[in-house]
Structure 1
Amino acid sequence: MPAAIVFDLDGTLSDTEALWDGVRRGLAEAEGIAWPDGATQAMMGMSTGEWSRFLSEEVGLPYPPEEAAARTIGALAERYRDGIPLLPGALESVRRMAERYPVGIASSSPRLLIDTFIEVNGLSDAITASVSTEEVDRGKPAPDGFLRACELLGADPRQCIAIEDSTNGIASALNAGMTVVTIPPHFHPPTAEVLARTTVLGGLDELSYDLVEGLIPTAR
């Protein structure tokens, strides 16, 4: 049996990747800056420090990374208060997995937004541990966030399953030595080559006990 299940948040449980992209593009548009090709994909999975530097240095926002982060997170927090859009089966899948395994979250979202998600959706009893990549040295695709989540859960990453949606997130979990289940999003899905390294589901409703238990060998 898996030692633990670790979910990504944005794009996996919450349908918020487009919100993040819209807020960031809005900051650039307000300054008359054209959105660079590939910028959206590049920032998916980055930690707060990484994507805020990217906005300042690569996109060209005329203020420091700290301000770019504050403006982005502040705008998102306001939108979250109006309700967090969820992907089908999100809450049910978390609770279903939590009935049998320790469950964690490893997300690139800031701590404020992770805690808001857990609180608003009443998941504090189901989520044993959560990690923001702003709390570790490197964001996705580095393994730091997933490794820290497994550490907090007291689990060997090689015996854990990550639930992801993005290319950087998949790479992060694989780099941590985890088995990866992917629910490809409608928003910038991973390539077929990346998906081939994971188990691909059509939705969170397909995340069953039989499926996850069949993914972990008895000896690794």
Structure 2
Amino acid sequence: MMDIDISRIKGLIFDLDGTLADTMPLHLEAWNEVGEKYGLSLSHEEHIKFAGMSTEDIVNIQADKQGVSADAKAFSEQKDKVFLEEKLDDVKPIPVVPDFLYSLHNKFPMAVGTGSQRITAEKIIDNLNVNKYIEGLVTADDVENHKPAPDTFLSCAEIIDIAPENCLVFEDGELGMQSAKTGGMQAINITKTSDKKLRDLLTSLENLKK
């Protein structure tokens, strides 16, 4: 099926933006609306490359690259405000991936690890109506070292009380994949996995707990 040892899996960890929720284009719109005030821009390609990083980290990278002075914390707060007030209602679930939550929440402990701020992540999770399925949420506010450092997912593993080597991480970005693997976890990039293979994986996990 894919390079995953199903027999080792005892807990599931999900990235949020681009993995459970189709928010990446909306975040990019909000980023550039705020960025215009600072003289900063972020391309689609850069946004994909930085997927999983905190807004503050991205602002610092772009400000340095584009020779602009920017208060990363203030920028992040303004960007989240735009997202929550103008974009949140347009958030939709990513196909297939939320099915793992619906089908496996009584069989595997599950957590979400994201580079978003807590206030934004909680609103997105509420919007998707999946908060009842997860046991923990780790956000950019909760760790000092963000993706690609492993801290976010290691904190998730600690919350669900599952050893890292027994966790499977669902991601959509290369930095997130690196984060999971550095933390000693198995990981799957949903953008490089067909819906059929994801459904096959779901069936295998369901069968594992029968």
Contact 1:8 1:164 in 2 (8 A): yes
Identity across the alignment (%): 24
Alignment pair present for 1:180 and 2:187: yes
For 1:138 and 1:156, the matched residues in 2 are separated by: 20
Q: Give the Å deviation of 1:57.
A: 3.2
Which has a greater percent of helix? Answer: 2
Aligned CA distance change for structure 1 residues 16 and 81 (closer, same or farther; 3 Å): closer
**Secondary structure in structure 2 of the residue aligned to 1:134:** coil
Contact 1:88 1:205 in 2 (8 A): no
**Which of residues 81, 89, 105 is equivalent to 1:98?**
105
**1:136 matched to which residue of 2?**
143
Q: Give the Å deviation of 1:37.
A: 9.3
For 1:47 and 1:213, the matched residues in 2 are separated by: 36
Aligned CA distance change for structure 1 residues 51 and 212 (closer, same or farther; 3 Å): farther
Q: Give the Å deviation of 1:138.
A: 0.9
For 1:131 and 1:83, the matched residues in 2 are separated by: 23
Number of residue pairs matched? 199
Of 16-25 and 154-163, more deviation after overlay is shown by 16-25
**2:114 matched to which residue of 1?**
107
**1:68 matched to which residue of 2?**
75
| TM-score, with length taken from structure 2 | 0.82
**2:152 matched to which residue of 1?**
145
**2:193 matched to which residue of 1?**
201
For 1:110 and 1:73, the matched residues in 2 are separated by: 8
For 1:16 and 1:207, the matched residues in 2 are separated by: 24
For structure 2, list consecutive stretches of 5 or more residues without a partner in the other structure. Answer: 1-6
Alignment pair present for 1:54 and 2:61: yes
5 Å-filtered alignment, 1:115-126, equals: 115-126=122-133
Aligned CA distance change for structure 1 residues 36 and 62 (closer, same or farther; 3 Å): farther
For structure 1, list consecutive stretches of 5 or more residues without a partner in the other structure. Answer: 185-199, 215-220
Aligned CA distance change for structure 1 residues 95 and 26 (closer, same or farther; 3 Å): same
The root-mean-square deviation of aligned C-alpha atoms, in Å, is 2.5
For 1:67 and 1:158, the matched residues in 2 are separated by: 37
**2:4 matched to which residue of 1?**
none
What do the CA deviations read for 1:156-181 (whole angstroms, capped 9, x no partner)? 00011000111101000001100011
For 1:34 and 1:82, the matched residues in 2 are separated by: 24
